Amino acid sequence: MTEPPISRGFRGRGRGDQSARVPPGQHLVTDFPVLSAGPTPEPDLSGWRFTLEDGDTPLGAWSWAEFNALPQTDVVVDIHCVTTWSKLDTEWRGVSFDTLLEAAGLSEPPGPFTLIHCDGGYTTNVPSEDLVDGKAMVATLYDGEALHPEHGGPARLLVPHLYFWKSAKWVRRIQFLDEEQPGFWEENGYHIYGDPWREQRYDGD
């Protein structure tokens, strides 16, 4: 079958060739499933801090008010969960990783790898280069509203080009590392990188 000549950057919401946007082994959903390895933490905005660290050295820290005063970015992206659901055209607002680096006075990531830390102890690893150049943000709004606690509110990482387990909910700390350190699912049989287009679901895929 020949593909119609649709430009990926020029598609209307809900139109165009949707099948070309669904990675192998995935199916589309219109609801928004909740997947958490543990309980949803109680939101506590007064105690909330977001920190960037190079190893154990602090690079920057923001209170909830300070974080929300940073320049905000809007994105509309497709997301892909390793449990095989994909959801098209999800709308998010938050602080791009590039803005965070800049706010910390950095022109580039200080290390090639990151480990992402969350309230509740969940972790995931993402290479630094997969977070820069508009590829990732810390999102605080979904679909124009404060991110629901079940979906990671007050703030979650959003790395839509990787399987959604990399989009860590209740994110609090991004730690730069010189060597790759696997996170929670990566230590439990899932792929160290997790590219949905190469179907990197499990270790060894």
Ligand X SMILES: Nc1nc2c(c(=O)[nH]1)N[C@H]1C(S)=C(S)[C@@H](COP(=O)(O)O)O[C@H]1N2
Backbone φ and ψ for 191, nearest 5 degrees, come out as -65, 145
Out of 52, 136, 151, 162, the residue judged to bind ligand X by CB under 6 A: 151
Mask of contacts with ligand X, 13-52, x by CB under 6 A? --------------------xxxxx---------------
Q: If contact means CB under 5 to 8 A according to the sort of partner, which of ligand X, Mo ion, none does residue 29 touch?
A: none
Q: If contact means CB under 5 to 8 A according to the sort of partner, which of ligand X, Mo ion, none does residue 97 touch?
A: none
For residue 83, the minimal CB distance to Mo ion (Å) is 5
Q: Does 191 bind ligand X (CB under 6 A)?
A: no
Output 35 or 45, the one with its CB closest to ligand X. Answer: 35
Characterize the bridge pairing of strands 137-142 and 145-146.
antiparallel
Characterize the bridge pairing of strands 27-28 and 85-96.
parallel
Output 28 or 69, the one with its CB closest to Mo ion. Answer: 28
Contacts of 94 (CB under 8 A, 6+ apart): 72, 73, 137, 138, 139, 140, 141, 155, 158
For residue 80, the minimal CB distance to ligand X (Å) is 9
Out of 50, 64, 92, 165, the residue judged to bind ligand X by CB under 6 A: 165
Nearest to 61 by CA among 72, 50, 69, 71: 50
Structure tokens at 185: 């699912």
Q: Does 164 bind ligand X (CB under 6 A)?
A: yes
Characterize the bridge pairing of strands 113-118 and 85-96.
unpaired
- φ/ψ region of 100 (left if φ > 0, alpha if ψ in -120 to 50, else beta) reads alpha
Buried b (16+ CB within 10 A) or exposed e, 66-89: ebeebeebebeebbbbbeebbbbe
Output 61 or 81, the one with its CB closest to ligand X. Answer: 81
Per-residue CA distances from 112 to 39, 127, 130, 195 (Å): 31, 6, 10, 18
Q: If contact means CB under 5 to 8 A according to the sort of partner, which of ligand X, Mo ion, none does residue 169 touch?
A: ligand X
Select the span of 60-68, 131-139, 167-175, 194-202 touching ligand X (CB under 6 A).
167-175
Q: If contact means CB under 5 to 8 A according to the sort of partner, which of Mo ion, ligand X, none does residue 36 touch?
A: ligand X
Question: Could you list the residues that contact ligand X (CB under 6 A)?
Answer: 33-37, 81, 118, 120, 122, 151-152, 164-165, 167-170
